[in-house]
Each structure stands twice: as structure tokens, then as C-alpha cells.
Structure 1
Amino acid sequence: MLSTSKKLIGRDSELDLLKSAISRFAAATASKAGLEIISISGAGGVGKTYLLDTVLDETQAALKQALILKIDASSEHLLKEFTLIFDQMFAPTELPPPAKSKHDYFPTTRSLIRRQHELIGMVESEISNNKNLSDQCKTMAKALYRLSPAIKYLPKIGPAAAMALKGLETIKAEDYIEPALDVLSSLQALKDETGFFSFPLTKTRLASLRHSPYEAISEAYLSDLSAMLQSYQRQDWFRFMHSAIEGVNRLFLIVDDFEAVGRVLGTFLVESLLPRLKNASFSTLVIFLGRDSVYDANKDFAHHLAGNIGGLIKLEPFSFVEGVKYLTDSGYSSREAAEWYQKSHGLPFILRLLVENRTDADKQSALFYKRFYERTTRWMSLEERKWLTPICYLDNVNEGTIKALLPQQDASRIIAWFESEASVRDVNSPVFTVTPYIRHMLLEYNRRKVGDPEHINLARIAQKAMREA
């Protein structure tokens, strides 16, 4: 979506679909409570977040009765631990008005999360004390359990586990996943009725936390939400600690960058939480934003939630006519507009940056490219950002060229990351390479950052690496 001070350009059908979904959600009564899911997909920079933000701005009044929670990949450290991301994003300690300030509306969930942290300590202690395990296997087993305490789902996570654990720079994560799974499946900490699991008042839920943590946490969360938005469940232990939020009676959940978030939460959402929200006493609207549709991002959506998908929005770049008109209306010549459209591939994010930075070109150009770099790499780790810049100098990204270009780095790790990073990789190219417009923009940013002499030197080194590979 593009905007000017007077109007929005394009995306009319997408706007209508989103507004209709929010209207249905806002009008739903208790007797018609249920779950609706909307999927917004498209390449990075195509305008997914902008489209949603535009609709939310226009429908604020209709959403006054909704508790709005947003789950995203903005905090990299959270993406390595299920318990942390759930505690901080699904059950925040502070909710916006009309919720009371400094009041915890998730006591049941919070209690269970505390027990889960205790269990993590028991698991890690047992792993550390096992003298038969290598340090690498211990590190992987601990990381896997923090990634997903639901051990039965870990094999299903598959290659995504290695990507989610990309911070383990000292080992090749994929080499230790299977041995680590064997370790976790044999732990006494997950079998014995010891420690806090032996208390009669908490035994039932804590035992389920040990064997079925996703289900236990989903039930606790639904209990808190029900008390907050509608009414208590009879079995709630903490019903006297709950408080309702006056005037708020439905849940609006936004899941941004589902490719990244889904590595930690995908199975939990699709197989545990969302199926429970289908039968909740309050209405729920969930909007997923990601490169792929929810069906492509997680195949289990079709099995568990097909009947709840209210719309699939696939955003494409703007056409040549739309993009050029937008730029010429903002002061670019027809030639400039056509050139920038080709470079940008019609992506709204780049076209908006071009318009915003039209004036004072010498001063603004560096900021323009810096903003593009930050937008493109916002979900990447610091290590991945360090890899991306030199990779942009390569016409053909493979283990050979990476070894020649970055001899001190593990080429297999870099190529494994690049293969899975479709947000910057040219999916239409016969060889692995960075998407042309991203490559152009990032190289221009680096040239301005390091200066022409160093930029030329890096290009020369890359050319040499490709000849030697």
C-alpha cells in the first residue's frame, strides 16, 4: 500500500477483506463466539504491515472492546525460548487501558510459567551432571528444551530447530539434534514425581506441564482470558485473584513475521492454543503476517483450522503503471520513476522511502539506504548481518565462493542460513544469489558506509573468490 496526504493507492480488495473481518469480529455476540483467522502474505517490503496498520487506524472505534496482543520477532533472544516469548508477549505484565495499571491479569498462566522455569532448572542440572555427554550435546539438549518443552513435537520441528538455535555459534546445531533428542527423552526430571510435582494441590496441572506442556499452558491461558473477557471456569484455582477488564470482551491477536515466530510457536499455536480458542466463550480474531500463507508456512493449518480461515490475502508488488504514477506524482521525472521502479521491483516499502527522501538528496540518500538496510535485516542476528553484506558482492553464493571470500567462517553454516533466508535470496535464480534490488540497495548502503575505495576493494576480493571457487 502506498499513501499520500490525500489518498491511498491500490489494495482496495485487500482493504475491504480486512475491514469486513474486523466488522464481523466487532459485531460478534457471545452466542456467536468463535475463531477467525486472516493470513496476509507476501515478500518483505510488499506492504503487509502497512496494510494492516492502515486498517487498524481506520477501525479503532470498532475495536474498543478488543484486547489486542501482538506477537512478533522483534526480540531475537525470545525466539530461542518458548517460555520467555509466551510469558512476555502472550501474557504481558502491563496491558493498555482500560486495564488496571500494574495488575497481572494472567495469574494462572504466570504460576505455570514459574513452574516451567523450575522444571528447566531441573532438566539442565541433570544434563550438566551427565558425564557421558559431550559439551556440544549438552548445549544442544538444553537449547532444544528451552526452544520447545513439548519434547514430543521436537522431531516435527525438524530443520527449523537448527535455524531457531542459530545463536549456538560454537557448534553445528544440525549435527547434534538427534543425540540431544535421545538425551531429553531419557531424563528422570521429566519422569519422576519429585520436588514440586509432589504437592497434592498442584500435582495435576504440574504433571501435565511435564508431559503435555503446550496443552497445560493453553488451558491456563484460556482460563485467564475467560476470566478477563467473559467469566471464570469452575475449575480455576485463581478465580479470586482474577479481574475482568471493563468493556473488553474479545481477543485480537496479531502474529507478525510468522516464519520466524513459527519456529518457536508454530506447533503450539496450530495444535494447541488456536483449537481451544475455537470453542472459547469469547470471540477471537487472529491475523498472521508472513512471507507465505499460513497453509504454506505450517501444513497443519489445513488439518486443524481450515474451517476458521476467513481470508487469504496475497500481496504482490505494484504494477509498472501504479509505481511510476506514484513516483511522478511525488516529483520524480518519468525517466527517474521508470528506473527506480525497475530497481525496486515495485515494492511499496522502497517506493515510499523514495518519496520520503525526495528532498535534499545528498543528505537524505545515506539515510534512505540505511533505513532499507535496517528494514531488510531487522529479524536477522548480528552474525547473519555480518554474513549478508559480503554475500551481496557475490554473483553466485555457494560453499566454494563463501570459503574463498570468508576463509575464517564456517561456509556450510552460512549456506544453510542463506538457503532458508528467502527474504533476501532470489528464488527465481538458477544459482543462489541475493535478489537483485536488495543486492543493489545493500551494496549502495555499504559503499556509503565504508567509502568508495573499500567498496571497490571488497568487489575485487569477491571477484577473485568467484574465480578461485
Structure 2
Amino acid sequence: MVKFLDLGGCMNLIGRQAQVERLRGVMKFERCDGRRLSILGIEGPGGVGKSSLIEMAEQGLDYKILRALKVHLDSTEVVATLLDFVDGLIQGVKSDARRSYSRGDISLKKTEQAVAAARKILLDAQNEVAKNGDPVAIAQIYHRAMAFGKSVNKISPKTKDWADFEAMESKVSTEDVRDVISVFQDEVPNLFNNLGIFSDGKNLRNSIRANAAKVFAQALVDDLEVVLAGYNVKDAGKPLPSKIAGCDRLLLIVDDFESVSEICGEFLVKYFLPALKGVRFQSIVIIAGRDDLTVTHPSWNQHLQAHLLDPAIDVGPLSRSEIDVIAKREGVDSEVLWRDTDGYPYFIQLWVEADRRGGENAVSLKKFYDRTTRWMNQQQKEWLSICLLLDEVNIGSISKLVESEQCASDIFSWFEMEASIRDTKSKFFAVRTYIRRRLLDYLRLRDPLVVSAQEDRARELGVLKSIL
């Protein structure tokens, strides 16, 4: 395993160097067996040090010398829609072309045209829905939208987190319709084509309505081929940017894949990456996430299996002996450090920082909460607040705090997959004590009356007995 700890303002490698050297070699295009496209997964639960591993491997690399254009997308980017993700790729290409190759004139003409067309579709649809039209026409739009929304909910139950169309079905006013349709207008650019409304005859817009992800992917690949490999004969005479001199490779890093996979997984795995197999430039793709890539989308195995570098880098917690080294260096109790953090580098970092300050404060607790929940949606954060009240997390204990057994089952199914908050040493399912205590401390600061009432109820029901 490879682990990192940032203490005292410097990055320290804890454990074996081999994994870092392997990642560095891949980033230098040295370990790809001549493949046109190579994909390396970095796997491990949240807080274990995947991002730090990438940072360490990058130290000292000069991408201009490597003739590579680097695009790095991580969870600090706000990605609410596929358009946001594609915009991030566009800006990443332009930024590195300007920074590394002094090319401030680079444009991704096809991709930018596709994005502009998609935004025009959404704007036209929004304006049309905003009009106070014929009530019958509005009702027809409403019923089509509801039927479409319920089918999406059925195919992908996670979409109920932000729009439960079964529950919304009784709404029939113009304002309600506007709200219902606006839910999808950013998330599904081809929504209105699927509903059979607001169509026009322009080829690009029609293509986007039919399959936005495919259009964006092909446009981006075409643009990258121009700037990294030069014109094709078929492009002669077109007003496209010139090739970046001395650059004929692409390095794409996607950090915290789970945070964007629902939004852009189809675009990335089914269309964009497969299209890179046939281009005239070499691509290295590094994807860091909590799960084995091959279980996140069927296209990894169907279309990209031959391009996955095996094995993936598995980043795990620090060992007890490594914790002993850190504890000795910091002058803290090794047993307590191990017990509280389970060897997770990010939690070690926060633990040591708090020890240096002499205790926690409101800002550090907020930081801890935000970091622990950053890949959770709003419903999952609410589920977490329920689990924090339980000494033992199981369907029975959850059922005492929620309205239905199905809801309890959904919460438990989510919790048992959240290794970054679960106590992996316990004989029963529970939130790790250190995390549980700090998150509850933050929630008490944020809303003391509500949390106090919730704790009292949990104690009355017998599911909370510990003193936290």
C-alpha cells in the first residue's frame, strides 16, 4: 500500500515507494506497452490518501518535456450537470495549453459549438415553459413530463433524491409544471426531444437532443486531435486552431470519480474514452475513486478492458507500525491515535492538528464534516445523521427512527457500503467512534435544539446508550 501524511507543512511518504514510482512511471508514459490509450485506476475509501498519492507522483514532472497536455478534474470543481463537466474539460485544456505551451489562442471549436447549442436548447425550453400558454397545452406538457420523470425514477431510483415524480404527480398548476420540468432541464439535455416537444430542424441541436453525451464526446475528441496531432486532410480549409508545437499526448486525471459518475459516467466510459482508442495521439487516463472501476459501469469491461492497466493501485490505511512511527514523531499516544483514526491519513492529519491546538474548535469541526460528507448527496447526509444516533446500525435499529421498514432497508444498504465512516473492526455495523463523536459535535453546534431532541428520542427508544 501507499500512504501519505501531510504534517508540518511537508508531504511525507509513509510505507512502500513502489506504488508511487509505478504511478509516476505511468504519468511519464513509460509503462503503457505502446498502447494508444491506457487507463489506471486508483482505488480506496474516502480519506485514505488517493489525492495525495497523485500529488506525490506528480512532484518534479515537467509535462512540457513529456510532450503532454494535462487536464486534472477533481471534487473541488462544481459539477452539477454534464455541461459543467464538459466545460471543465474545455477550460482544463485551454488552461494547460496557456500555462505549459504559451498558447492562449487554443479553442475547441466543435465542443464549444455543441455546448452552446445545448444551452440554447435549454434556454428555449425554459422560455417556452415560462410562457402562460393554453392550459390544455400546459397540461399535456405536464403529463408527458410526469410520465418521463416516473420512468427515470423507476430505471434509476437514485434520481428520487432530487425529484420524486410519484410524489409530485398531483401538481397541475402552471407554476408546478414549470418547477417539474426545470428539475430535468439541466440534468437531461435531450429531455424535450424525448417528450416530443420544442423540436427544431437544426442538425446539431437534433443530435444533442437524441444523445448529448455522444455528441459532446465526439466533438471533444475531434478538437483534441486537431490541437495534439494536427489537421486531417478532410479538415483542410476549416477555421480550426493550429496544433500545439511539441505536444502530442494527453494526460487526463479524474479525481473522486464517484462525485461525478452519475452525471458524466455515460459520457466518459461509453463514448469519450472508447473514442480515444482510434485517435492519432497517445492518452493516459488516471481515475481515482472508492470502487473498482469495472463495477461502476458495464462499458469498462465491454469496451475498455484491454486498456485498463492491471492491477489498479489499491490505497489502504496505514498499518499499526506506521502509526507508531507518526505517534513517536508527533509525541502523541500511539494507541489513541490508532484507535481514533484506524490509520486513515486524512483523519490522522486532523487528529494531529487538533492535538497541536489543544482541542477542537467550530471551524475544525465544520471542516471535518464537510470533508467526511463531500461525496454524499443531501439525502445521504440525512441518513448519516440518523446513523450517528445509533450504537448499532441495522435495519431494526434504524426502523425505530424512520417511518418505514423500506426506508430503513435503503439506509442500511447505503451504510454498509460506506467504508470510510463505518467501524471496520466492530463485530456489528456502527459508525466509527472518532467520526461519530466529531460529526455529532458539529451537528450540535449547527442546530443544538433539534439534535438534542433527536438524541433524547433515540435514548428513549433504546438505540442510543453510549455517552458521546
Matches within 5 A, 1:29-44: 32=34, 34-44=36-46
- Find the aligned partners of 1:140 and 1:237 in 2 and give their Cα distance: 47
> How many residues are paired up?
432
Letter matched to residue 295 of structure 1: T
Q: Who is 2:414 aligned against?
A: 420
Once the two structures are superposed, what CA deviation does each residue of 1:124-146 show, in whole Å capped at 9, x if it has no partner? 688894524657x72684799xx
Identity across the alignment (%): 24
Which residue, 184, 189, 196 being the options, matches 1:188?
Answer: 196
**C-alpha deviation, 1:378, in angstroms:** 1.8
Q: Is the 8 A contact 2:394 2:429 kept in 1?
A: yes
- Find the aligned partners of 2:450 and 2:139 in 1 and give their Cα distance: 50
Q: Who is 2:175 aligned against?
A: none
Matches within 5 A, 1:6-405: 7-24=12-29, 32=34, 34-60=36-62, 65-75=67-77, 78-79=79-80, 81-91=81-91, 94-96=94-96, 97-98=99-100, 103=105, 105-121=107-123, 129=137, 131-132=139-140, 134=142, 138=145, 141=148, 158-159=155-156, 162-163=157-158, 166-168=161-163, 187-189=195-197, 194-195=200-201, 197=202, 203=203, 205-236=204-235, 239-311=238-310, 312-332=312-332, 336-362=333-359, 364=360, 366-381=362-377, 384-396=380-392, 405=401
SS in 2 for 1:340: helix
Q: Is the 8 A contact 1:140 1:173 kept in 2?
A: no
TM-score normalized with structure 2 length: 0.76
Letter matched to residue 138 of structure 1: A
Letter matched to residue 288 of structure 1: I
- Find the aligned partners of 1:88 and 1:417 in 2 and give their Cα distance: 33
Q: Is the 8 A contact 1:323 1:346 kept in 2?
A: yes
SS in 1 for 2:86: helix
Q: Is the 8 A contact 2:38 2:308 kept in 1?
A: yes
Q: Is the 8 A contact 2:39 2:309 kept in 1?
A: yes
Letter matched to residue 195 of structure 2: L
Q: Who is 1:2 aligned against?
A: 4
- Find the aligned partners of 2:147 and 2:76 in 1 and give their Cα distance: 24
Which deviates more, 323-332 or 231-240? 231-240
Q: Is the 8 A contact 1:229 1:282 kept in 2?
A: yes
**C-alpha deviation, 1:381, in angstroms:** 4.1
**Alignment gaps of 5+ in structure 2:** 131-136, 170-179
- Find the aligned partners of 1:438 and 1:39 in 2 and give their Cα distance: 27
**C-alpha deviation, 1:416, in angstroms:** 3.7
**C-alpha deviation, 1:212, in angstroms:** 3.9
**C-alpha deviation, 1:240, in angstroms:** 1.7
SS in 1 for 2:287: strand
- Find the aligned partners of 1:6 and 1:120 in 2 and give their Cα distance: 45
**C-alpha deviation, 1:367, in angstroms:** 4.6
Q: In the superposition, relative to structure 1, how do residues 172 and 63 fare at CA in structure 2: closer, same or farther (>3 Å)?
A: farther
**C-alpha deviation, 1:242, in angstroms:** 1.6
TM-score normalized with structure 1 length: 0.76
**C-alpha deviation, 1:374, in angstroms:** 1.8
- Find the aligned partners of 2:454 and 2:294 in 1 and give their Cα distance: 41
Q: In the superposition, relative to structure 1, how do residues 357 and 284 fare at CA in structure 2: closer, same or farther (>3 Å)?
A: same
- Find the aligned partners of 2:373 and 2:252 in 1 and give their Cα distance: 24
- Find the aligned partners of 2:118 and 2:456 in 1 and give their Cα distance: 53
Q: In the superposition, relative to structure 1, how do residues 237 and 460 fare at CA in structure 2: closer, same or farther (>3 Å)?
A: farther
Q: In the superposition, relative to structure 1, how do residues 370 and 327 fare at CA in structure 2: closer, same or farther (>3 Å)?
A: farther
Q: Is the 8 A contact 1:165 1:173 kept in 2?
A: no
Q: In the superposition, relative to structure 1, how do residues 26 and 65 fare at CA in structure 2: closer, same or farther (>3 Å)?
A: farther
Q: Is the 8 A contact 1:35 1:308 kept in 2?
A: yes
Letter matched to residue 419 of structure 1: S
Once the two structures are superposed, what CA deviation does each residue of 1:345-388 show, in whole Å capped at 9, x if it has no partner? 111111122233432313x5555443321211123345644553
Q: Is the 8 A contact 1:123 1:187 kept in 2?
A: no
Q: Is the 8 A contact 2:250 2:283 kept in 1?
A: yes
Q: Who is 1:147 aligned against?
A: none
- Find the aligned partners of 2:327 and 2:58 in 1 and give their Cα distance: 26
SS in 2 for 1:43: coil
SS in 1 for 2:351: helix
SS in 2 for 1:9: strand
Letter matched to residue 70 of structure 1: H
**Alignment gaps of 5+ in structure 1:** 145-153, 198-202
Q: In the superposition, relative to structure 1, how do residues 58 and 448 fare at CA in structure 2: closer, same or farther (>3 Å)?
A: farther
Which deviates more, 221-230 or 246-255? 246-255
Q: Is the 8 A contact 1:229 1:249 kept in 2?
A: yes
SS in 2 for 1:95: helix
SS in 1 for 2:41: strand
Letter matched to residue 13 of structure 1: A
Q: In the superposition, relative to structure 1, how do residues 236 and 214 fare at CA in structure 2: closer, same or farther (>3 Å)?
A: farther
Letter matched to residue 117 of structure 2: R
**C-alpha deviation, 1:276, in angstroms:** 1.1
**C-alpha deviation, 1:264, in angstroms:** 1.6
Q: Is the 8 A contact 1:26 1:65 kept in 2?
A: no
- Find the aligned partners of 2:381 and 2:13 in 1 and give their Cα distance: 33
Q: Is the 8 A contact 1:73 1:257 kept in 2?
A: yes
Q: Is the 8 A contact 1:33 1:281 kept in 2?
A: no
Which deviates more, 315-324 or 36-45? 315-324
